[in-house]
Amino acid sequence: MLTHASFLLTGPDHGRAFEADATFRADGVAKPVVIFVHGFKGFKDWGHFPLLADFFAERGFVFVKLNLSHNGIVVGGTGDLEDLEAFGRNNFSIELDDIGQVIEALFAGKSPVPAAEMDLQRMGLVGHSRGGGLVLLKAAEDPRVRAVATWAAIAEVHPHWPQAIFDEWERTGILHVPNTRTGQQLPMHYQIVEDYHAHRPRLDIAHNVRRKLRQPLLIVHGDQDETVNVAAAHTLHQLRPDAELLLLPDATHMFGGAHPWAKNELPEPARFVAERTADFFLRHL
């Protein structure tokens, strides 16, 4: 039987509580740890993500997933995006610090996972979409991460929209992006642009992957990705030619998943990705 345990963290700089959870088989054996990071407009319990946690736990991992603190989820709330003001105050620096806080909690024994169940010398990161970009950046700055996998990852933070959009965004202070799943108009305050420019060395994916990322890397992407073009995977592979590149024919951005996900089985593309990713981590952790 698998153990599912949640824990709360509070960002020391922003004071906002956010939730993480761990899934593992409590057998007293020290297991490698994989931390999963969701993407833009995502959250840790989106669609089939809980099934992914079970999949990795059944294969001998401690699987930890988190809600990034400003993703719009409220602790004890509806379980979906509802705090749009927090969403608007989000930025990449906050998200990297959130991941770092989860790592620190694991190392400091401030998670519900007993120390005997974890081998923290074998810790990997996996991220989807924007979360894929985040795990690349976090691994580049934290050598405790021993291997990295990306699923449908962005290859850079800057969106390269027309300058007129940035000018209007700066003038009004806010830009709204649609959430087609819920019909919401999600706000993004201009501070995310200012944060990017203020911390560009930390947030430059190309520079960090090329110059600082030393861990084994797996790049997974669907060749029919409608959200992050498969060209992003080729860009990342060019930056790290020794990385493993896995392109899935006919796979889209969510690898067959949707929210909500009522089935008890992973969608087949997601299951294939999980199997290959688990094999990668078993080889490198």
SS3 track for 69-96 = CCCCCCCCCCCCCCCHHHHHCCCHHHHH
Please tell me the distance from the alpha carbon of residue 19 to that of residue 111, in angstroms, as a whole number: 11
Q: Which of 35, 65, 60, 32 is nearest to 48 (CA)?
A: 65
Please tell me the distance from the alpha carbon of residue 45 to that of residue 51, in angstroms, as a whole number: 9
Here the tokens at position 166 are 């940035």
pLDDT for the residue numbered 153:
98
DSSP states of the chain as a string? --EEEEEEEE-TTT--EEEEEEEE--SS--EEEEEEE--TT--TTSTTHHHHHHHHHHTT-EEEEE--TTSS--TTS-SSS--HHHHHT--HHHHHHHHHHHHHHHHTT-SSS-GGGEEEEEEEEEEETHHHHHHHHHHHH-TT--EEEEES--S-S-----HHHHHHHHHHSEEEEEETTTTEEEEEETHHHHHHHHTHHHH-HHHHHHHT--S-EEEEEETT-SSS-THHHHHHHHH-TTSEEEEETT--TTTT--SS---SS--HHHHHHHHHHHHHHHHH-
Here the tokens at position 183 are 């019909």
**pTM for the whole structure:** 0.98
pLDDT for the residue numbered 12:
92
Neighbours of 70 (CB within 10 A): 21
Local confidence pLDDT in tens for the 285 residues of the chain: 999 999 999 999 999 999 999 999 999 999 999 999 999 999 999 999 999 999 999 999 999 999 999 999 999 999 999 999 999 999 999 999 999 999 999 999 999 999 999 999 999 999 999 999 999 999 999 999 999 999 999 999 999 999 999 999 999 999 999 999 999 999 999 999 999 999 999 999 999 999 999 999 999 999 999 999 999 999 999 999 999 999 999 999 999 999 999 999 999 999 999 999 999 999 999
As its CATH architecture, domain 3-157+200-284 has 3-Layer(aba) Sandwich (3.40)
For the chain, the structural domain boundaries read 3-157+200-284
pLDDT for the residue numbered 117:
98
Here the tokens at position 195 are 């944060």
pLDDT for the residue numbered 135:
98
pLDDT for the residue numbered 191:
97
